[in-house]
Structures are given as C-alpha cells and as structure tokens.
Amino acid sequence: MKVQGMNIIDKYFRRINRLRISVTDLCNLRCVYCRPESGLDLARHKDILTYEEIVAVVRHAVKLGIKSFRLTGGEPLFRKNIENLLWMLGKVQGIEDLAMTTNGIYLKNYARVLKEIGLFRLNISLDSLDAAKFEEITRGGKLKDVLDGIEEVLRLGFKNTKINVVAMKGINDDEFEEFAKLTLERNLEVRFIEFMAMNKDRLDSEGKYIPMAEIIDIIGRRNELTSLPPPMLGSGAAKLYKINGARGVLGFVSAVSQPFCTSCNRLRLTSDGKLRSCLLSGGEVDLKAILRNDPAEEQLTDAFLRAANLKPSAHSGKGHVVMHEVGG
C-alpha cells in the first residue's frame, strides 16, 4: 500500500478517494434499529474533533487524492453551528464533492444556507411515509418535518438528492412501492438499503433483513423497471433502476447480500477522531492524538496510510457497529 502520485492505493489495489466524516455522535432521533431507547455512552465534548481539526484532516486528505467528502453522524444538523464547518470546508481547494447524510428533521430551515454554502448533495433518511409508523421507528420524529425538508431541497434545485430507506421486514416492506412512486414526479433517487443486524440491544433484528433481490421483486410486481448503468458521481454502491417514465431513479444497496468491498474506496473519520478503515471490520488509527500534538505533514500522511493499510479485503458481514460514532 502506497501513495502513488497523489493517490492512496491500498494493498488490494483499491484507490482510496472518499472520506465519510461523522461530525457528532449526538442525534435528535432514536431510531429503533440504530440507538437504544435508554441512550448511549456518548463522547465528551472535549473528545469530539473541533471544526478546525476536521478541516485540517480534510485539507490533508485532499493532498492525498481524497476529493469526495460526506458529513454524517449522529445527526450532522444537530451539531451546533454546523454551517460554520461548511463555510470552512467551502474554502478548501480541491474538494470535488461535498455531501451530507441527514435525517431531515431540521432540513427545511437549513436547506437554503446549505445551498448558499455550496453543499453539493444530500442523502435524507426516511424509513416510513406513515406518520404514526415514522414516529414509532424514530421514537418521536415528526414525518412532516422531513417531508417539508425534502420539498424545500427540491425547490432549491439540489441535484442528486437521495432518500435512504432501510428495508425492514414487517416494518416498512408494505411501503416499498409507495416509496418507489415518489420518483414518478420527483427528481430523486429513492435508495433501498439492506438492513444490517447491529447490536443486540437495538431492534430485535431476527427476520428483519430483506435481500435486495426481494425488494426489487416487490417493486417490480406492479411497475416496469429498467436497469440503469452506474452514474459518474456519487454512484457509491447502489444498483440503479428506473420505473419506466419516472423522473427519478431507484437505488438498491446490497451491503449484506452482495458486499461491494472489492470496490470500496473510502475511509471514515469518527466524531472522536479515529480514522476507521471499514464500517464493519478492520482497524482504526487514532488521528486525534496525532492532530493534538502539533503534527508534521508526514505524520498525517502516515496516519492515512496506516488506516488504508488496515482495510480488510472484505468485511465479515458482522461486527459490533456503533453507527452513531462511525456514521452510516
């Protein structure tokens, strides 16, 4: 594994060019599959990377050929003055893609400032279109807040907006078609994500998982689907389809049934400053310890190379994932 020109190539010949940044482990929702009702052991404020530290990491990453960044969490819009981080990132030369994954609760109010600052793309998580069910899944969230946020994002002309739907048997499988039909009139990608079993103290995951092929089959029963080639930008791991005649597209992310490890090109930065090699397995490098010790450029480069070196060829499919720290 080496830096080739300005690129990190790992030992399995994957070029690492994306960084997913969890800006906080806090969230304004308590989704049943993500967080326990009782709350979590969260990092203390002093252990969370400051905006200046995040920007320092991004600046260095750009020098190593990592040009695509996604802010996640926890809930990124829940971190105080998140717009300041975006302003600062907006000044970093060389960023080619700056995106955010959000639960959308605060989006209606934030959308305009995100657009003005120059955020390129938004992924909005939404697991039910039924207000009562949404409230149950999120333990208290209001569906209308998210729907209003989505409409505002579309009105402002954000491109490549995605709606992330975690597919869960017996919870939202009766809504797949309704979700898919959001694409008929809207320029959106509705993305179905295979449910990953997490910790035991979350939602009882037994039997909740639905493989991608089954999701496609459910939607395809009453809709004509055409398979599409992957797009140039933000293709990530999704297989794309379109309902014939629809404005938007459908994406299917098969992290469980068909892992996409061989083309995985990302590292993850946790809110407390660990550079993680993989969502599910592999190791991490304590970048915060380095950052807070007045590092030379070579030390930062070395940290990225070590993290890339820890990337497994493939994940085991299991693992003790703490989504709020690592960022989904």
- Cβ distance 149 to 106 under 8 Å? yes
Q: Shortest distance, CB of residue 25 to ligand SAM, whole angstroms?
A: 10
Q: Is the dihedral of CA 275, 310, 96, 91 positive or negative?
A: positive
Q: Which of 198, 189, 308, 159 has its CA nearest to residue 253? A: 189
Q: Which two tokens stand for residue 115?
A: 């657009």
Judge whether 221 is annotated as a binding position: no
Q: Where are the alpha helices (DSSP H) in the chain?
A: 51-63, 82-90, 107-117, 131-138, 143-155, 176-185, 212-220, 287-291, 297-309, 323-326
Query: By rule CB under 6 A, what string of x and - marks binding of each residue 193-212 to ligand SAM?
Result: x-xx-x--------------
Judge whether 70 is annotated as a binding position: yes
Query: By rule CB under 6 A, what string of x and - marks binding of each residue 25-44 to ligand SAM?
Result: --x-----xx----------
Judge whether 38 is annotated as a binding position: no
Judge whether 227 is annotated as a binding position: no
- 73 belongs to the binding site for ligand SAM (CB under 6 A): yes
Between 110 and 304, name the residue whose CB sits nearer to ligand SAM.
Answer: 110
Give the residue, chosen from 17, 24, 68, 102, that forms a contact with ligand SAM under the rule CB under 6 A: 102
Between 20 and 288, name the residue whose CB sits nearer to ligand SAM.
Answer: 20
Give the range of 98-106, 172-180, 258-266, 269-277 binding ligand SAM by CB under 6 A.
98-106
Between 65 and 273, name the residue whose CB sits nearer to ligand SAM.
Answer: 273
- 24 belongs to the binding site for ligand SAM (CB under 6 A): no
When CB distances to ligand SAM are compared, the closest residue is: 328
Dist CA 105 CA 98 (whole Å): 20
Query: For residue 14, what are the CA distances in angstroms to 234, 262, 276, 302?
Result: 17, 7, 16, 18
Q: Where are the beta strands (DSSP E) in the chain?
A: 2-4, 7-9, 15-16, 18-22, 68-72, 97-102, 121-125, 162-167, 189-194, 225-228, 239-243, 249-253, 266-269, 274-276, 284-286
Give the range of 45-53, 140-148, 294-302, 320-328 binding ligand SAM by CB under 6 A.
320-328
Q: Angle 79-82-88 (CA atoms, 0-180°, nearest 5)?
A: 145
Between 81 and 293, name the residue whose CB sits nearer to ligand SAM.
Answer: 81
Judge whether 266 is annotated as a binding position: yes
28 C-beta neighbours (distance < 10 Å), count: 16
- 192 belongs to the binding site for ligand SAM (CB under 6 A): no
Judge whether 33 is annotated as a binding position: yes
SS3 (DSSP) at 276:
strand
Per CB under 6 A, residues contacting ligand SAM are 27, 33-34, 72-73, 75, 101-103, 125, 164, 166, 193, 195-196, 198, 323, 327-328
Residues making up the annotated binding site for [4Fe-4S] cluster are 27, 31, 34, 261, 264, 278
Residues making up the annotated binding site for S-adenosyl-L-methionine are 33, 74, 125, 196
